[in-house]
């Protein structure tokens, strides 16, 4: 292609970019003073929380702004060419040949009524590839993104493919023209960790192979860290820090970066009984807020008087980085927002809830779907049990069975504090319903939009307690205090609240009837990291105060490691491994857990165990061990013929696998049992 | 999959039709009580009433009557009209052809016009033309046909004299004369339908324009023309098809009013006079035929909809 220009110019150069959105009659500043350069062949990350403007940057580069957006200043140069004023023709040419994009939600990024093959072929047609060569090129490029059976996939419609497969197709379309710049906007958000790992590997391989430059946008520090050479941290439409990834994260020179990193639970930070998670106080300023001085001053623990008067420039700092902070050298001395001491709690060996021999079979189109099979699980008083596994593993079905939303198959026994519990919620007493409550992933859909906070919580209190008006009101206000919300929010409607506050309302509602067990279904995965930390702290505090038990469904293993006392790993409706959290994370692991753990973006690629293929359909589970179709450690015919039982291989540790524990230890490169016998090493 | 879907949908239509036939039968042949008396009036002699009942077969037990009637219906014999003393099938058939002409003209005008209007409104969202189409269409929808019909007659037939005020062309007129006569009633129907269809089209187009896949298509570098035609319209027109089909129901109701107003010998007019004259065999046969037509068009619309929508067409084969 245009080799000469490519050598002399960086792939992307953004200079002094400023952008505004019109909201009502006013234009509000959404991006200001954005400066960064993506060198040829480089992977550049743009990281920040929601509302920081990272997708807006991408759309400005693609020249695809919503109708109410406009660039007011600055230039965007692609291989030396300014793209801010191009004719429609040049713009199309640019999009066809030079720059492509991969989006967050592959499920909606493809046209539902056009076959995959046709949609990919478009790209070649636009590039001017003659008609007879196109099909071959489509096959080639699908091959390149490691789609096993391109011909079959080409004939499919989007709804017939899984999310991971669709994202491969979108990536195929994006790399077909070997673009100079590839923009990936949250390409793995919403995908399972195992699929995410595969997609990230793929992007890395392709980048190395075709030498394209990558602009990688994500809210996930771990993903950015894994994928990018350099990174820019964005906050409220401004760059806070830019530098090499290692330097930016290991030796941060901006208080915001320091704060973000502290919010994340990691294997190095202690567990919930040892330390709280630090958080970032306050909120993102509203779009277009006129702030003199440092835009982060409101939330910064290092703030000085000068910060509120003079806005810092992007100051060059050691390590080839820049930081927009007057006191960059003190960034890492940032005081903690939340006291480190974790809330103390009582633990008990008493069983709160036991579900035995649980199965759930749905009937779909006349055929049975085995959503749950042979589940035995106990939750103790005041304990947190985490439920992990890919989507489709049956986690949510189990939650719904416990809540009585789905009636399990005959033979299933659910007992609460030793007393049998009806399978259907309609047959449970008021007290039993109040005893098991739920917090959902998405508070938006769980809260009635038209009601005030007071009404939402008050209604739950009234239903579950049936007390007088005064008691109900007192309890409502009490709950608000418990979830650390001020009374100024009592009359607010959900839409006036931030995601974190909405989730607090949902939690308050779940606690309305003093529950014994709260099922938390991905309670923080729709939230930003700083908000996630605060919610996790809150859940931990509430547990300490109320001695409540949690069933904590999550795909984020770092969060699970931090909060859970015990972990249950599910695959295709079965429990594959159950044990104390330190034990499950320390290993030896069930082969499925091993694969899940190694899918974490924190790890380097070479240590990874890849999971082949996708989770099989629950309507037609594999014979023998249900994991045998994907198991990297499969030992032979026995795996295909005999389903292993969930057996207690060590006291309190259960696995469903034919491989004996000693052998697992050897396979996974762990020292033999004698050495790890000391529980302190966990 | 598609085959099974078609079969199931077809079976459903048949069941609905059978239910309808029972209802029609009860409504027109059982509920009126003594049919002969209702037809001949209170002053007829008992003998002539009995004779009529015997001739119509309404003196037999209801079940026999029904099986006889439905058996005839299946073989194309719906009995004779009392007022016209002619086979019901013949009368209904002729009226249907007339109505079909009117309905076809109305559809030929309204479908392209309103879809085009809806697309235009969507592409010029928030501008004057958009407001004209949406607000204008909505206002026209709520004006009853007999009001708009009379206004149309007053303006175009009486004052300006451009178009005939009655819909029936003289016997043996050519195609264009017939259409000229049908133009005013067709416009009258168009006024009502335009707003609905345009609004649904507009909403569908806007939704598709904002969809992620449209963004993908634009950022792929597809020309705007192609994006609109292939990405947007294909997905946006799906709901429109469903709406157009569901308006068949309205059209039949609207036809009664419009045909009576423009004194046009269509099915609406025929049913209206049958009801007025207590011509039960004609009424029953006419309603049954209209019901069958209605079911048939809904069936076609469903099939078209699902054929265009791969998610339905391929359901179960994923
Ligand atoms: S300039 Fe001041 S307020 Fe802003 S980040 Fe630095 S220390 Fe904090
Ligand atoms: S039983 Fe076999 S297939 Fe199943 S997890 Fe163990 S080794 Fe893998």
Please write the tens of the pLDDT for every residue from A98-143: 899 998 888 889 988 889 999 999 999 999 999 999 999 999 999 8
Please write the tens of the pLDDT for every residue from B265-284: 888 888 888 888 878 888 88
Give CA–CA dist A397/A405, Å, rounded. Answer: 9
* Residue A606: inside a domain: yes
- Rounded to the nearest angstrom, the minimum Cα separation between A138 and chain B is 15
**Residues in A touching B318 (Cβ below 8 Å):** 159-160
Q: What is the pLDDT of residue B248?
A: 67
Give the domain extent around A386. Answer: 351-564
Give CA–CA dist A540/A550, Å, rounded. Answer: 10
Q: What is the number of alpha carbons within 13 Å of residue A86 lying toward its C-beta?
A: 21
pLDDT in tens, chain B (318 residues): 567 777 888 888 888 888 888 888 887 766 666 777 777 777 778 888 888 777 777 777 778 878 888 888 777 777 778 778 788 888 888 888 888 888 888 888 888 899 899 999 998 888 899 999 988 888 888 888 778 888 888 888 888 878 887 777 777 778 888 888 888 888 888 888 888 889 889 988 988 888 889 989 989 888 888 888 887 887 888 778 777 776 766 676 677 788 888 888 888 888 888 888 878 888 888 888 888 887 887 787 777 777 777 666 665 443
* Residue A191: inside a domain: no
A468 and A428, same structural domain? yes
Structure token pair of residue A537: 């702290």
**Which residue, among B178, B192, B200, has the nearest Cα to B264 in the 3D structure?**
B178
SS3 at position A498: coil
A533 and A385, same structural domain? yes
Q: What is the mean pLDDT of residues A533-539?
A: 91
Give CA–CA dist B45/A372, Å, rounded. Answer: 77
Please give the span between the terminal C-alpha atoms of chain A, in angstroms, as a whole number. Answer: 55
Q: Which of A333, A363, A397 is the last residue of a domain?
A: A333
Compute φ and ψ for A109, nearest 5 degrees. -80, -10
Q: What is the mean pLDDT of residues A231-257?
A: 94
> Which ligand 2 atom lies nearest to the CA of residue A626?
4
A580 and A522, same structural domain? no
Is the Cβ–Cβ distance between A618 and A392 less than 8 Å? yes
**Residues in A touching B215 (Cβ below 8 Å):** 64, 103, 109
Q: What is the pLDDT of residue B249?
A: 65
Chain B: residue nearest A160 by CA? B318
Chain A: residue nearest B318 by CA? A160
Residue A680 has pLDDT above 50, yes or no: no
The CATH homologous superfamily of the domain defined by B89-306: MetI-like (1.10.3720.10)
Structure token pair of residue A28: 């509000």
**Ligand with the closest atom to the CA of A333:** 1
Paired residues of A417 in beta bridges: none
**Ligand with the closest atom to the CA of A311:** 1
Name the band, by pLDDT with cuts 50, 70 and 90, for residue A170.
Answer: very high
A669 and A600, same structural domain? yes
Structure token pair of residue B248: 């068949």
User: Is there a contact between B218 and A101 if contact means CB atoms under 8 Å apart?
Assistant: no
Predicted complex ipTM exceeds 0.85 = no
Residue A599's H or E segment, with its range, is none
Q: How far apart are the CA of A478 and the centre of ligand 1, in A?
A: 36
**Which residue, among A79, A74, A71, has the nearest Cα to A41 in the 3D structure?**
A79
> Which ligand 2 atom lies nearest to the CA of residue A628?
3
A364 and A289, same structural domain? no
Structure token pair of residue A5: 């220009």
Which residue out of A296, A311, A329 has the highest number of ligand 1 atoms within 8 Å of its CB and is therefore the one to mutate?
A296
Q: How far apart are the CA of A641 and the centre of ligand 2, in A?
A: 11
**Which residue, among A635, A628, A639, A665, has the nearest Cα to A650 in the 3D structure?**
A665
Q: What is the mean pLDDT of residues A578-600?
A: 91
Residue A562 has pLDDT above 70, yes or no: yes
Count up the domains in chain A and report the number. Answer: 4
Name the band, by pLDDT with cuts 50, 70 and 90, for residue A675.
Answer: very low
CATH number at residue A415: 3.40.50.300
Residue A447 has pLDDT above 90, yes or no: no
**Residues in B touching A111 (Cβ below 8 Å):** 213-214, 216-217, 230-231, 234-235
Question: Is the Cβ of B225 closer than 8 Å to some Cβ of chain A?
Answer: no
Q: Are strands A517-521 and A549-553 parallel, antiparallel or unpaired?
A: parallel
Residue A344 has pLDDT above 80, yes or no: yes
Residues 6 or more apart in contact with residue A636 via CB below 8 angstroms? none
Question: Is the Cβ of B41 closer than 8 Å to some Cβ of chain A?
Answer: no
Determine the distance from the C-alpha atom of residue A176 to the mean position of all C-alpha atoms in its chain, rounded to a whole number. Answer: 28
**Ligand with the closest atom to the CA of A624:** 2
**Ligand with the closest atom to the CA of A253:** 1
**Which residue, among A297, A251, A34, A220, has the nearest Cα to A243 in the 3D structure?**
A251
Q: Specify the higher pLDDT residue, B256 or A623.
A: A623
> Which ligand 2 atom lies nearest to the CA of residue A591?
5
A531 and A411, same structural domain? yes
Count the Cβ atoms, other than its own, within 10 Å of residue A207. 20
Paired residues of A622 in beta bridges: none
Q: What is the dihedral of CA A634, A196, B316, A375, to 10 degrees?
A: 50
Structure token pair of residue A23: 């909201």
User: Is there a contact between A159 and B310 if contact means CB atoms under 8 Å apart?
Assistant: yes
Please write the tens of the pLDDT for every residue from A196-227: 888 888 898 888 888 899 999 998 898 999 89
SS3 at position A239: strand
Chain B: residue nearest A63 by CA? B219
Question: Is the Cβ of B220 closer than 8 Å to some Cβ of chain A?
Answer: yes
Q: Are strands A647-650 and A81-82 parallel, antiparallel or unpaired?
A: unpaired
* Residue A601: inside a domain: yes
Query: pLDDT > 90: what percent of chain A?
Result: 46
A317 and A392, same structural domain? no
Give CA–CA dist A226/B73, Å, rounded. Answer: 75
A534 and A388, same structural domain? yes
A611 and A499, same structural domain? no
SS3 at position A437: strand
Angle ∠(A386,A388,A391) on CA atoms, nearest 5? 140
* Residue A302: inside a domain: yes
What pTM value is reported for the model? 0.80
A357 and A317, same structural domain? no
Q: What is the pLDDT of residue A588?
A: 92
Chain B: residue nearest A95 by CA? B221
Q: Which of A92, A108, A157 sits opposite B310 (nearest CB)?
A: A157
- Ligand 1 lined by A326 (C-beta under 6 Å): yes
Average pLDDT of every residue of chain A: 88
Using CA atoms, how far residue A601 sits from A265, A427, A604, A605, A606, in Å, is 14, 45, 7, 9, 12
Name the band, by pLDDT with cuts 50, 70 and 90, for residue A672.
Answer: low
Q: Is B10 exposed, middle or buried (0-12, 13-18, 19+ CB in 10 A)?
A: middle
- Sheet containing A213-218: give its strands across: A99-102, A181-185, A213-218, A43-47, A230-235, A238-244, A321-323, A315-317
A356 and A314, same structural domain? no
A376 and A300, same structural domain? no
Q: What is the pLDDT of residue A247?
A: 93
The size of chain B, in residues, is 318
Q: What is the pLDDT of residue A679?
A: 45
Q: What is the mean pLDDT of residues A619-635?
A: 91
- Ligand 1 lined by A240 (C-beta under 6 Å): no
Give CA–CA dist B8/B1, Å, rounded. Answer: 11
Q: What is the pLDDT of residue A7?
A: 55
**Which residue, among B298, B312, B314, has the nearest Cα to B242 in the 3D structure?**
B298
* Residue A445: inside a domain: yes
Question: Is the Cβ of A170 closer than 8 Å to some Cβ of chain B?
Answer: yes
Q: What is the pLDDT of residue A117?
A: 93
Give CA–CA dist B185/B101, Å, rounded. Answer: 11
Q: SS3 string of chain B?
A: CHHHHHHHHHHHHHHHHHHHHHHHHHHHHHCCCCHHHHHHCCCCCHHHHHHHHHHHCCCCCHHHHHHHHHHHHHCCCCCECCCCCCEHHHHHHHHHHHHHHHHHHHHHHHHHHHHHHHHHHHHCCCCHHHHHHHHHHHHHHHCCHHHHHHHHHHHHHHHCCCCCCCCCCCCCCCHHHHHHHHHHHHHHHHHHHHHHHHHHHHHHHHHHHHCHHHHHHHHHCCCHHHHHHHHHHHHHHHHHHHHHHHHHHHHHHHHHHHHHHCCCCCHHHHHHHHHHCCCHHHHHHHHHHHHHHHHHHHHHHHHHHHHHCHHHHCCCCC
Output the ligand 2 site: residues, CB below 6 A.
A 591, 625, 627-628, 631, 633-635, 639, 644, 657-659
Q: Taking the domains of chain B in order of start, what are their residue ranges?
A: 2-74, 89-306
Name the band, by pLDDT with cuts 50, 70 and 90, for residue A678.
Answer: very low
User: Is there a contact between B314 and A62 if contact means CB atoms under 8 Å apart?
Assistant: no
Please write the tens of the pLDDT for every residue from A380-435: 999 999 999 988 888 989 999 999 988 899 889 999 988 888 888 888 888 888 89
* Residue A187: inside a domain: no
Q: Which of A564, A586, A617 is the last residue of a domain?
A: A564
Give CA–CA dist B25/A679, Å, rounded. Answer: 84
Please write the tens of the pLDDT for every residue from A249-292: 999 999 999 999 999 988 888 888 889 999 898 888 888 788 88
Determine the distance from the C-alpha atom of residue A257 to the mean position of all C-alpha atoms in its chain, rounded to a whole number. Answer: 19
Question: Is the Cβ of B76 closer than 8 Å to some Cβ of chain A?
Answer: no
Q: Are strands A181-185 and A213-218 parallel, antiparallel or unpaired?
A: parallel
User: Is there a contact between A110 and B213 if contact means CB atoms under 8 Å apart?
Assistant: yes
């Amino acid at each position: 292609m245009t080799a000469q220009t490519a050598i002399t110019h960086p792939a992307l150069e953004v200079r002094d970019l400023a952008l505004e959105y019109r909201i009502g009659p006013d234009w509000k500043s959404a991006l200001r003073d954005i400066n960064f350069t993506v060198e040829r062949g480089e992977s550049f990350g743009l990281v920040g929380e929601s509302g920081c403007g990272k997708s807006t940057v991408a759309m400005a580069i693609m020249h695809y702004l919503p109708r109410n957006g406009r660039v007011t200043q600055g230039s965007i140069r692609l291989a030396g060419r300014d793209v801010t004023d191009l004719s429609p023709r040049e713009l199309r040419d640019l999009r066809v040949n030079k720059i492509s994009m991969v989006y967050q939600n592959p499920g909606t990024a493809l046209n539902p009524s056009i076959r995959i093959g046709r949609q990919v072929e478009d790209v070649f047609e636009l590039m001017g590839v003659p008609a007879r060569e196109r099909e071959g090129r489509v096959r080639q490029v699908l091959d390149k993104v490691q789609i096993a059976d391109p011909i079959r996939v080409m004939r499919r419609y989007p709804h017939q493919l899984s999310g991971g497969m669709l994202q491969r197709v979108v990536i195929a379309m994006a790399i077909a023209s070997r673009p100079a710049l590839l923009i990936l906007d949250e390409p793995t958000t919403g995908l399972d960790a195992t699929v995410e790992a595969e997609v990230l590997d793929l992007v890395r391989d392709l980048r190395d192979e075709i030498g394209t430059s990558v602009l990688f946008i994500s809210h996930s520090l771990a993903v950015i860290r894994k994928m990018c050479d350099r990174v820019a941290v964005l906050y409220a439409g401004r760059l806070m820090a830019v530098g090499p990834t290692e330097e930016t994260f290991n030796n941060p020179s901006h208080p915001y970066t320091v704060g973000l990193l502290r919010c994340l639970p990691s294997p190095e930070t202690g567990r919930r009984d040892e330390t709280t998670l630090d958080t970032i106080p306050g909120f993102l300023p509203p779009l277009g807020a006129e702030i003199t001085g440092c835009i982060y001053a409101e939330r910064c623990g290092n703030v000085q008087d000068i910060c509120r008067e003079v806005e810092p420039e992007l100051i060059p700092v050691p390590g080839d980085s820049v930081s927009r902070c007057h006191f960059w050298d003190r960034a890492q001395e940032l005081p903690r927002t939340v006291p480190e001491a974790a809330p103390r709690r009582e633990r008990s060996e008493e069983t709160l809830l036991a579900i035995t021999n649980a199965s759930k079979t749905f009937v779909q189109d006349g055929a049975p779907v085995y959503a749950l099979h042979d589940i035995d699980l106990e939750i103790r008083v005041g304990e947190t049990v985490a439920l992990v596994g890919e989507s489709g593993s049956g986690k949510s079905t189990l939650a719904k069975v416990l809540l009585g939303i789905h009636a399990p198959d005959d033979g299933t026994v659910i007992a609460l504090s030793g007393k049998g519990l009806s399978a259907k919620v309609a047959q449970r007493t008021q007290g039993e319903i109040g005893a098991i409550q739920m917090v959902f992933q998405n508070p938006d859909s769980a809260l009635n939009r038209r009601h005030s906070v007071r009404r939402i919580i008050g209604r739950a209190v009234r239903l579950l307690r049936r007390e007088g008006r005064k008691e109900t009101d007192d309890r409502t206000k009490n709950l608000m205090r418990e979830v650390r919300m001020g009374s100024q929010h009592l009359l607010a409607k959900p839409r006036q609240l931030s995601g974190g506050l909405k989730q607090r309302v949902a939690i308050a509602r779940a606690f309305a009837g003093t529950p014994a067990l709260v099922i938390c279904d991905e309670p923080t995965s729709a939230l930003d990291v700083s908000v996630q930390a605060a919610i996790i702290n809150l859940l931990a505090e509430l547990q300490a105060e109320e001695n409540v038990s949690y069933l904590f469904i999550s795909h984020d293993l770092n969060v699970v490691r931090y909060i859970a006392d015990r972990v249950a790993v599910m695959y295709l409706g079965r429990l594959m491994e159950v044990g104390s959290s330190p034990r499950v994370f320390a290993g030896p692991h069930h082969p499925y857990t091993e694969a899940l753990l190694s899918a974490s973006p924190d790890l380097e690629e070479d240590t990874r165990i890849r999971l082949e293929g996708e989770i099989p359909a629950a309507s037609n589970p594999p014979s023998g061990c249900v994991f045998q179709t994907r198991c990297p450690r499969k030992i032979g015919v026995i795996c295909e013929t005999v389903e292993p039982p969930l057996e207690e291989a060590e006291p309190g540790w259960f696995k469903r696998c034919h491989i004996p524990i000693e052998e697992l230890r050897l396979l996974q490169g762990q020292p033999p049992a004698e050495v790890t016998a000391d529980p302190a090493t966990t | 999959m598609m085959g099974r879907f078609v079969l199931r949908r077809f079976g459903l239509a048949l069941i609905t039709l059978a239910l309808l036939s029972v209802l029609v039968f009860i409504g027109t042949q059982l509920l009126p009580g003594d049919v002969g008396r209702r037809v001949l009036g209170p002053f007829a002699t008992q003998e002539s009433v009995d004779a009529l009942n015997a001739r119509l077969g309404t003196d037999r037990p209801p079940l026999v009557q029904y099986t006889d009637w439905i058996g005839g219906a299946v073989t194309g014999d719906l009995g004779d009209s009392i007022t016209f003393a002619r086979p019901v099938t013949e009368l209904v058939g002729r009226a249907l052809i007339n109505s079909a002409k009117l309905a076809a003209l109305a559809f030929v005008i309204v479908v392209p016009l309103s879809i085009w209007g809806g697309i235009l409104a969507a592409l010029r969202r928030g501008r004057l033309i958009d407001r004209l189409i949406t607000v204008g269409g909505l206002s026209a929808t709520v004006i009853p046909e007999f009001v708009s019909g009379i206004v149309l007659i007053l303006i175009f037939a009486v004052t300006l004299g451009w178009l005939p005020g009655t819909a029936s062309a003289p016997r043996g007129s050519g195609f264009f004369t017939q259409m000229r006569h049908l133009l005013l009633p067709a416009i009258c129907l168009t006024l009502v339908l335009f707003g609905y269809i345009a609004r649904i089209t507009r909403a569908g187009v806007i939704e598709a324009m904002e969809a992620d896949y449209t963004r993908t298509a634009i950022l792929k570098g597809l020309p705007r023309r192609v994006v609109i035609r292939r990405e947007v319209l294909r997905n946006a027109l799906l709901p429109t098809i469903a709406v157009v089909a569901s308006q068949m129901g309205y059209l039949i109701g609207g036809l009664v009013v419009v045909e009576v107003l423009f004194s046009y010998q269509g099915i609406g007019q025929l049913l209206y006079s049958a009801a007025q004259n207590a011509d039960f065999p004609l009424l029953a046969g006419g309603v049954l035929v209209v019901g069958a037509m209605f079911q048939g068009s809904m069936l076609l619309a469903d099939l078209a909809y699902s054929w265009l929508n791969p998610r339905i067409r391929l359901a179960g084969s994923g």
